[in-house]
Amino acid sequence: MKVTVERDGITDEISRIMDYEFNGTSEFVPHQFTPLDYETTLKDFGIGLIVGPSGSGKTTLLAEFGSEVEPEWNPDKAIASHFEDIDDVQNRLGAVGFNSVPSWMRPYHVLSNGEQFRARLARQLDSNIVVDEFTSVIDRDVAKSCSHAIYRYVKKNGLKNIVFSSCHYDIIEWLQPDWVFDTQTGKLTTRGYQRPEIVLEILPATSESWKDFSPHHYLDGNVNKGAACWLTIWNGRLVGFLSSIAMPSGTLKNAWRGHRTVVLPEFQGLGIGARMTEALGEIHLSEGKRFFTKTAHPRLGEYRNSSPRWRGTAYNGQSRPEMGKGYEHNKKYSQELMAKHSTRVCYAHEYVGVT
């Protein structure tokens, strides 16, 4: 690639003081794919990644796979309203680790940089797409969690020929691409990438800790003052909150249920929420207690349906017309609760641990 500019006083002075010979012409020869690459590695794949420093030819190479299409956003509509239906909302936003229901209800222009990135990518995600500057302008924790969520979605749905370009190498193990082309070295490598292990630390806490997490929970902002609470730490970073409360029952003894579980937005998409509740289940089992959960979140619910660590209860996948019972002393609250929750289908499970 060769470009020519007019020399002037500024370019001549830079040449003089930097001892750089410049005649007005710059030449750059970027690394290229070979014909054999196109016939083999680049012929049929799920995810490809072009990575390298700025100015190394990533965008030029990316253009060989297509042009990026930027979605348009109506400032008067919620993020969720830009998708086909509720299933499309849950599947696509979940695919990029964007699981904050309150943020789904906001317009695009008020979201954080990380949320905008995930929302935009959720609408782009399909076979035969290209995405330039992938994760380049977002927090690195968001980059890693989003990369892993995309890998799982692409693998599950069999999407093909998706190519990203990025200046960051730290996403490779999380994205687990079928091939990586490094524009700095000209080297093409294939497969063999493994996601780093996620080791969580669960620490006891008080209900006071909830105030930092309540804005990210999809239900009300309250936590039961009698709840047992924990904080979750990953690599020295606070990533989540979870709590449980005792289940008053005449038939179940020593039974507890999940109360509030939140993973901070920048860490969503890594499967941390599921791991947190299983850790809590192990804590309760070790204390001789039974542990139950209920969620309306389809990704978490379907995970528990397929996991041997969980057993569905009689109410799993059903609506709850009996909701509101136990609040007879407050008829108004009971009616409101029933109207809000009685027709909502939820996933209900008991944690049984490793069998």
- pLDDT tens, residue by residue, 147-201: 998 999 999 999 999 999 999 999 999 999 999 999 999 999 997 788 888 899 9
Dig out the tokens for 83 from the structure. 């998708």
Residue 262 contacts residue 216 (beta carbons within 8 Å): yes
- Which pLDDT score, from 0 to 100, does residue 340 have? 52
CA-to-CA distance for 293 and 186, rounded, in angstroms?
50
In this prediction, residues 103-115 reach a mean pLDDT of 92
CA-to-CA distance for 258 and 304, rounded, in angstroms?
14
Question: Which domains can be identified in the chain, with CATH numbers?
Answer: 1-30 (no CATH), 32-190 (3.40.50.300), 200-351 (3.40.630.30)
- Residue for token pair 């710059």: 26
Dihedral of CA atoms 109, 112, 118, 122 in degrees, nearest 10, equals: -20
Dihedral of CA atoms 216, 343, 106, 121 in degrees, nearest 10, equals: 80
> Is the pLDDT confidence value at 265 over 90?
no
Tell me the pLDDT band of 107, cut-offs 50, 70 and 90: very high
pTM: 0.76
Dig out the tokens for 234 from the structure. 């990953």
Dig out the tokens for 32 from the structure. 């290229």
> Is the pLDDT confidence value at 341 over 70?
no
Q: Average model confidence (pLDDT) for the chain?
A: 87
Q: Residue 55: phi, psi to the nearest 5?
A: 80, 10
Strands 290-295, 255-263: parallel, antiparallel or unpaired by DSSP? parallel
331 vs 99 pLDDT, higher one: 99
- pLDDT tens, residue by residue, 233-263: 998 899 999 999 998 766 788 899 999 999 9
- pLDDT tens, residue by residue, 118-134: 899 999 999 999 999 99
- Residue for token pair 């599950």: 156
In this prediction, residues 39-45 reach a mean pLDDT of 90
Tell me the pLDDT band of 296, cut-offs 50, 70 and 90: confident
- Residues of the chain with pLDDT > 90, as a percent, come to 55
What is the rounded end-to-end Cα distance, in angstroms, of the chain? 62
Within 13 Å of residue 245, how many CA atoms lie on the same side as its CB?
13
- Residue for token pair 């109207």: 339
- Which pLDDT score, from 0 to 100, does residue 305 have? 94
Residue 295 contacts residue 301 (beta carbons within 8 Å): yes
- Which pLDDT score, from 0 to 100, does residue 324 have? 46
> Is the pLDDT confidence value at 67 over 90?
yes
In this prediction, residues 312-330 reach a mean pLDDT of 63
- Residues of the chain with pLDDT > 70, as a percent, come to 90
